[in-house]
Structure 1
Amino acid sequence: MKKLGIIGGLGPMATAYFMRRIIEMTDAATDQDNIEMVIYNSPSIPDRTGYILDNTKESPLPKIIDLANRLELQDVDYIAIPCITAHYFHQQIAKSVDVPVSNGIREAADYLSEHGIKKVGIMATDGTVSTRLFDSVFMDYGIQCVYPDWEYQKLVMSIIYDEVKAGKPVSMKEFELVKNQLLASGAEVVILGCTELSIAKRDNHIEGVLDIIDVLARDCVMKCAKLRPEYKELIKEGK
């Protein structure tokens, strides 16, 4: 059994749900069969999108690297960051430690490629969208990314910041508007490319999406323990 380190708090609810998904996905018959985790829930880390869009703001990278170094000192075998916008810094974080760091975007690309999916819709933060984080990896797999129109992207950001981060219920009418616009643009599946959006799937029945928290959790379980067979597939059929 391997030990997992988590750099969390980005945001706190997504981190709590990430831990829950790891436990649910682990093929464990006893407490002792579960993965040992060291979790830093650090919501004081500066906003990732804020910095990406305006480099004069405080960078979240030094704090993230500090936590990665602390986790390494605690002998973790694998590190995960349940925040996709923070994957903008993945290369620097991975170079700062000798412990492997999960890459949720690459894991998603691997999964989609295995299932023959060639065009996906992306629901994510402005930081992730503006830097084309998914495109930078998916192009190597021949997967095309489509994004919401400007007015729909505003709805995505409102769901993330005004609802999930504020502890309010997700407006599913707006969520479905964005999802349907991406499907109408030819997307075969819609990626919930921000871990805050995973809360919408936690609380509602949503089909035709790939939840990035599920991708990250599945990867961590497969690296550190044994995956329950029912989580081999992550996409519920339908739209």
Structure 2
Amino acid sequence: MNNFFAILGGMGTLATESFIHSLNKKTPSSKDQDYLNYVVVNHATIPDRTEFIKDSQAADPRPYLLKDIQDFAQLKPNFFVLTCNTAHYFFDELQASTTIPLLHMPKIATNSLNTRYHIKKNSTIFFLGTEGSLFSQVYKNLIESEGYQYRTPALSVQKKINHLIYEDVKQKKYLNYPLFYEILSELLEIDPQAHMLLGCTELSCLFEQFTTKLDFPIIDAQNELIDFILTHSNQ
């Protein structure tokens, strides 16, 4: 197969499925041949990224990711897509392992704050993601470099986000819309002028499923990555 890209997924599997479903749904098509060419690596046994970021003695996901890149680089994809936001903590090391471009979802998402949504500089951006992403500060650095105020949810709200990601979506395969709505509402009550950036693909699963019901100023990183791929694809 020529002119294709490789999706490094499985972190988690439902999030990867959501990415593929959203990508296909948004692809302009009237026949089979209009869809994009890609291969999917659903490597579900990769150790948890947040656990390792918070505790270096935990199982290390990097060897698994590096091996996937090494193996699938032999197929010569145009680029790699990393569907896990938290795993971008390892981005520089992963990109250094290959000459094939690896798309940077957090950069694409934060660039869109100005270029696509034209959010005024110095506006508040609430970041919703895993504790690993909060700890790594990948999004914090990028949001602030774009000229915005980075803000994290209060601990009580972050606990709800953790529950939503790990206990509902990952463990129970449950898209807990009432809790998702509750979290978004609480954040908007704190700062009615703020925007919310979804930086976890489990949250993207909820956004994809319930976007027509939501009336919040949301930027979804996965959605921005998909639009970037569709805009820049030459297939």
Return the TM-score normalized by structure 1: 0.88
1:152 paired with 2:154, answer no
Call closer, same or farther: CA 1:146–1:185 in 2, change over 3 Å: farther
Return the TM-score normalized by structure 2: 0.90
> Cα distance, 1:225 vs. partner?
4.1
Query: Secondary structure, in 3 states, of the residue corresponding to 1:145?
Result: strand
Q: Which residue of 1 aligns with 2:196?
A: 190
Q: Which residue of 2 aligns with 1:116?
A: 118
Q: Which residue of 2 aligns with 1:199?
A: 205
User: Aligned partners of 2:198 and 2:214: how far apart in 1?
Assistant: 11
Is the CA contact (8 Å cut-off) linking 1:53 and 1:127 kept in structure 2?
yes
Q: Which residue of 1 aligns with 2:101?
A: 100
Aligned residues: 226
Tell me how large the CA RMSD over aligned residues is. Answer: 1.7
Query: Secondary structure, in 3 states, of the residue corresponding to 2:38?
Result: strand
User: Aligned partners of 2:34 and 2:153: how far apart in 1?
Assistant: 42
Percent of aligned pairs with the same residue?
25
AA aligned to 2:77 is V
Query: Secondary structure, in 3 states, of the residue corresponding to 1:165?
Result: helix
User: Aligned partners of 1:144 and 1:2: how far apart in 2?
Assistant: 39
1:87 paired with 2:88, answer yes
Q: Which residue of 1 aligns with 2:219?
A: 210
Matches within 5 A, 1:136-151: 136-151=141-156
> Cα distance, 1:176 vs. partner?
2.4
| Structure 1: runs of 5+ lacking an equivalent | 227-239
Is the CA contact (8 Å cut-off) linking 2:109 and 2:220 kept in structure 1?
no
1:60 paired with 2:61, answer yes
User: Aligned partners of 1:220 and 1:69: how far apart in 2?
Assistant: 22
| Structure 2: runs of 5+ lacking an equivalent | none
Q: Which residue of 2 aligns with 1:235?
A: none
User: Aligned partners of 1:214 and 1:2: how far apart in 2?
Assistant: 22
